[in-house]
Protein backbone atom coordinates (compact mmCIF):
# COMPACT_ATOMS: atom_id res chain seq x y z
CA UNK A 1 0.00 0.00 0.00
CA UNK A 2 1.38 3.43 -0.94
CA UNK A 3 1.88 6.22 1.58
CA UNK A 4 -0.79 8.41 0.02
CA UNK A 5 -3.24 5.48 0.19
CA UNK A 6 -2.54 5.21 3.91
CA UNK A 7 -3.15 8.93 4.36
CA UNK A 8 -6.46 8.73 2.52
CA UNK A 9 -7.43 5.83 4.79
CA UNK A 10 -6.51 7.97 7.81
CA UNK A 11 -8.68 10.75 6.41
CA UNK A 12 -11.68 8.42 6.16
CA UNK A 13 -11.23 7.44 9.80
CA UNK A 14 -10.93 11.09 10.83
CA UNK A 15 -14.10 12.03 8.94
CA UNK A 16 -15.91 8.84 10.02
CA UNK A 17 -16.67 7.90 6.42
CA UNK A 18 -16.85 4.51 4.76
CA UNK A 19 -15.74 3.87 1.19
CA UNK A 20 -19.26 4.17 -0.20
CA UNK A 21 -20.02 7.55 1.35
CA UNK A 22 -16.54 8.82 0.48
CA UNK A 23 -16.97 7.69 -3.14
CA UNK A 24 -20.36 9.38 -3.40
CA UNK A 25 -18.99 12.60 -1.94
CA UNK A 26 -16.17 12.78 -4.50
CA UNK A 27 -18.23 11.47 -7.41
CA UNK A 28 -16.17 8.31 -7.99
CA UNK A 29 -17.15 4.65 -8.06
CA UNK A 30 -16.72 2.40 -5.02
CA UNK A 31 -14.38 0.22 -7.07
CA UNK A 32 -12.09 3.12 -8.04
CA UNK A 33 -11.87 4.42 -4.47
CA UNK A 34 -11.37 0.89 -3.14
CA UNK A 35 -8.37 0.33 -5.42
CA UNK A 36 -6.79 3.58 -4.24
CA UNK A 37 -7.35 2.83 -0.56
CA UNK A 38 -5.97 -0.69 -1.00
CA UNK A 39 -2.91 0.67 -2.79
CA UNK A 40 -3.69 -1.04 -6.09
CA UNK A 41 -3.79 2.24 -8.02
CA UNK A 42 -2.61 5.81 -7.55
CA UNK A 43 -5.09 8.68 -7.18
CA UNK A 44 -5.33 10.91 -10.23
CA UNK A 45 -4.86 14.66 -10.03
CA UNK A 46 -8.58 15.27 -10.53
CA UNK A 47 -9.41 12.99 -7.60
CA UNK A 48 -6.94 14.78 -5.30
CA UNK A 49 -8.36 18.12 -6.40
CA UNK A 50 -11.91 16.91 -5.65
CA UNK A 51 -10.78 15.65 -2.24
CA UNK A 52 -9.20 18.97 -1.28
CA UNK A 53 -12.27 20.87 -2.49
CA UNK A 54 -14.57 18.55 -0.52
CA UNK A 55 -12.53 18.94 2.68
CA UNK A 56 -11.17 22.50 2.83
CA UNK A 57 -9.81 21.85 6.32
CA UNK A 58 -7.39 19.22 4.98
CA UNK A 59 -3.76 20.27 4.75
CA UNK A 60 -2.76 19.75 1.06
CA UNK A 61 0.93 19.40 1.97
CA UNK A 62 0.08 16.61 4.41
CA UNK A 63 -1.99 14.86 1.78
CA UNK A 64 0.81 15.01 -0.81
CA UNK A 65 3.94 14.56 1.31
CA UNK A 66 2.83 13.55 4.81
CA UNK A 67 4.45 16.65 6.28
CA UNK A 68 2.59 18.73 8.85
CA UNK A 69 -0.74 18.02 10.48
CA UNK A 70 -3.65 16.39 8.69
CA UNK A 71 -6.03 19.23 9.50
CA UNK A 72 -5.40 22.91 9.12
CA UNK A 73 -5.87 24.98 12.24
CA UNK A 74 -8.89 27.29 12.30
CA UNK A 75 -6.64 30.26 11.60
CA UNK A 76 -4.80 28.45 8.79
CA UNK A 77 -8.07 27.31 7.27
CA UNK A 78 -9.52 30.82 7.25
CA UNK A 79 -6.40 32.23 5.64
CA UNK A 80 -5.51 29.39 3.26
CA UNK A 81 -6.27 31.34 0.09
CA UNK A 82 -4.57 34.49 1.35
CA UNK A 83 -1.43 32.64 2.45
CA UNK A 84 -1.25 30.66 -0.79
CA UNK A 85 -1.23 33.93 -2.71
CA UNK A 86 1.62 35.22 -0.54
CA UNK A 87 3.74 32.09 -0.89
CA UNK A 88 5.93 31.43 -3.88
CA UNK A 89 4.90 28.50 -6.01
CA UNK A 90 7.96 26.26 -6.08
CA UNK A 91 6.73 24.27 -9.05
CA UNK A 92 4.68 21.23 -9.97
CA UNK A 93 4.81 17.60 -8.91
CA UNK A 94 4.35 15.12 -11.75
CA UNK A 95 3.13 11.94 -9.99
CA UNK A 96 3.37 9.81 -13.14
CA UNK A 97 6.93 10.78 -14.10
CA UNK A 98 9.88 8.71 -12.85
CA UNK A 99 13.56 9.51 -13.23
CA UNK A 100 15.02 6.66 -15.33
CA UNK A 101 11.59 5.46 -16.47
CA UNK A 102 12.10 6.45 -20.11
CA UNK A 103 9.49 9.21 -20.29
CA UNK A 104 10.09 12.23 -22.49
CA UNK A 105 9.33 14.58 -19.63
CA UNK A 106 11.29 17.54 -21.01
CA UNK A 107 9.30 17.87 -24.21
CA UNK A 108 5.94 16.46 -23.13
CA UNK A 109 5.74 17.70 -19.54
CA UNK A 110 2.60 19.70 -20.27
CA UNK A 111 0.79 16.48 -21.11
CA UNK A 112 1.32 14.94 -17.67
CA UNK A 113 -0.86 15.40 -14.64
CA UNK A 114 0.66 17.93 -12.28
CA UNK A 115 0.06 19.13 -8.74
CA UNK A 116 1.20 22.59 -7.57
CA UNK A 117 3.81 22.49 -4.80
CA UNK A 118 4.80 25.29 -2.43
CA UNK A 119 7.95 24.68 -0.37
CA UNK A 120 9.73 27.62 1.31
CA UNK A 121 13.32 28.37 0.25
CA UNK A 122 13.43 25.86 -2.62
CA UNK A 123 13.20 28.52 -5.32
CA UNK A 124 10.81 28.77 -8.25
CA UNK A 125 10.06 27.02 -11.55
CA UNK A 126 10.92 23.57 -10.22
CA UNK A 127 9.57 20.23 -11.33
CA UNK A 128 9.05 17.41 -8.83
CA UNK A 129 9.35 13.83 -10.06
CA UNK A 130 9.72 10.36 -8.55
CA UNK A 131 12.98 8.49 -8.09
CA UNK A 132 12.85 5.04 -9.65
CA UNK A 133 15.34 2.19 -9.34
CA UNK A 134 18.44 1.66 -7.20
CA UNK A 135 21.29 2.98 -9.37
CA UNK A 136 21.70 6.03 -7.10
CA UNK A 137 21.15 4.19 -3.81
CA UNK A 138 21.78 5.16 -1.03
CA UNK A 139 22.08 8.80 -2.16
CA UNK A 140 18.56 8.65 -3.57
CA UNK A 141 16.06 5.90 -2.85
CA UNK A 142 13.31 4.60 -5.08
CA UNK A 143 10.03 6.22 -4.11
CA UNK A 144 11.50 9.55 -3.04
CA UNK A 145 10.51 12.79 -4.78
CA UNK A 146 13.18 15.14 -6.11
CA UNK A 147 12.88 18.80 -7.02
CA UNK A 148 14.74 19.63 -10.22
CA UNK A 149 15.44 22.73 -12.30
CA UNK A 150 16.73 22.93 -15.86
CA UNK A 151 20.26 24.25 -16.32
CA UNK A 152 22.29 24.91 -19.45
CA UNK A 153 25.24 22.66 -20.22
CA UNK A 154 27.74 25.51 -19.93
CA UNK A 155 26.67 26.05 -16.31
CA UNK A 156 26.98 22.43 -15.19
CA UNK A 157 28.89 21.79 -11.98
CA UNK A 158 30.48 18.43 -12.67
CA UNK A 159 30.33 15.78 -9.98
CA UNK A 160 26.82 16.70 -8.82
CA UNK A 161 23.60 14.74 -9.41
CA UNK A 162 21.43 15.75 -12.35
CA UNK A 163 18.40 14.42 -14.14
CA UNK A 164 19.58 13.95 -17.71
CA UNK A 165 17.05 13.73 -20.55
CA UNK A 166 18.36 12.04 -23.67
CA UNK A 167 17.03 12.86 -27.12
CA UNK A 168 15.53 9.38 -27.36
CA UNK A 169 13.30 10.32 -24.41
CA UNK A 170 15.08 8.35 -21.68
CA UNK A 171 15.35 10.09 -18.31
CA UNK A 172 18.26 9.28 -15.97
CA UNK A 173 19.19 10.42 -12.47
CA UNK A 174 23.01 10.29 -12.39
CA UNK A 175 26.16 12.08 -11.37
CA UNK A 176 27.45 14.07 -14.35
CA UNK A 177 31.23 14.05 -14.79
CA UNK A 178 33.60 15.29 -17.47
CA UNK A 179 34.03 12.99 -20.43
CA UNK A 180 37.02 12.34 -22.65
CA UNK A 181 36.69 15.83 -24.15
CA UNK A 182 34.49 18.93 -24.00
CA UNK A 183 31.83 17.29 -26.17
CA UNK A 184 31.28 14.25 -23.93
CA UNK A 185 29.97 13.68 -20.42
CA UNK A 186 29.96 10.62 -18.20
CA UNK A 187 26.80 9.55 -16.36
CA UNK A 188 27.83 7.76 -13.19
CA UNK A 189 25.81 5.91 -10.56
CA UNK A 190 26.14 5.89 -6.79
CA UNK A 191 25.56 2.14 -6.77
CA UNK A 192 28.81 0.51 -7.88
CA UNK A 193 26.90 -2.35 -9.49
CA UNK A 194 26.11 -0.01 -12.37
CA UNK A 195 28.76 0.91 -14.93
CA UNK A 196 29.50 4.47 -16.01
CA UNK A 197 28.22 5.49 -19.44
CA UNK A 198 29.63 8.20 -21.69
CA UNK A 199 27.45 10.28 -24.01
CA UNK A 200 28.10 12.91 -26.65
CA UNK A 201 26.28 16.10 -25.67
CA UNK A 202 24.53 16.12 -29.06
CA UNK A 203 22.58 13.07 -27.81
CA UNK A 204 21.39 14.90 -24.68
CA UNK A 205 18.30 17.09 -24.77
CA UNK A 206 18.55 18.75 -21.36
CA UNK A 207 20.04 18.71 -17.87
CA UNK A 208 18.11 19.28 -14.64
CA UNK A 209 19.94 20.09 -11.43
CA UNK A 210 18.64 18.33 -8.32
CA UNK A 211 17.62 21.08 -5.88
CA UNK A 212 16.27 18.93 -3.08
CA UNK A 213 14.67 15.65 -2.09
CA UNK A 214 11.54 14.72 -0.16
CA UNK A 215 12.39 11.53 1.68
CA UNK A 216 9.88 8.70 1.61
CA UNK A 217 10.50 8.38 5.37
CA UNK A 218 8.78 11.75 5.76
CA UNK A 219 5.81 10.79 3.61
**60/105 same-domain check:** no
Write out the residue range of the structural domain in which residue 49 sits.
3-86
Q: Count of domains in the chain? A: 2
**Do 145 and 3 meet the contact criterion of CB atoms below 8 Å apart?**
no
Model pLDDT for residues 34-57, shown as the tens digit of each residue: 888 888 888 877 778 778 878 888
Please indicate, yes or no, whether residues 14 and 122 belong to a single structural domain of this protein.
no
pLDDT tens digits along 170-190: 889 999 999 999 999 999 999
Same domain, residue pair 96 and 24: no
Residues 140 and 173 in one domain: yes
Q: What is the pLDDT of residues 149-162, one digit of tens each?
A: 888 888 888 998 99
156 burial via Cβ count (<10 Å: 0-12, 13-18, 19+): middle
Do 190 and 137 have their domain in common? yes
Per-residue model confidence as pLDDT tens digits over 3-31: 888 999 999 999 888 888 888 777 677 78
Domain at 17, CATH number: 1.10.260.40
Q: What is the pTM of this model?
A: 0.57
Q: How confident is the model at residue 215 (pLDDT cuts 50, 70, 90)?
A: low
Residue 120 and residue 211 in one domain: yes
Amino acid sequence: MSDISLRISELLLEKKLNKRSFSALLGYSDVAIGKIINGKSKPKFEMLESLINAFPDINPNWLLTGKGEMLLSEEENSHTTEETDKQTLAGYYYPNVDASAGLNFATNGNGFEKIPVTIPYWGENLSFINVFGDSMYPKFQSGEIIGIKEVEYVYLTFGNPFVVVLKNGDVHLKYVRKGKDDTHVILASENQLYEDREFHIKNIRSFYQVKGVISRLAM
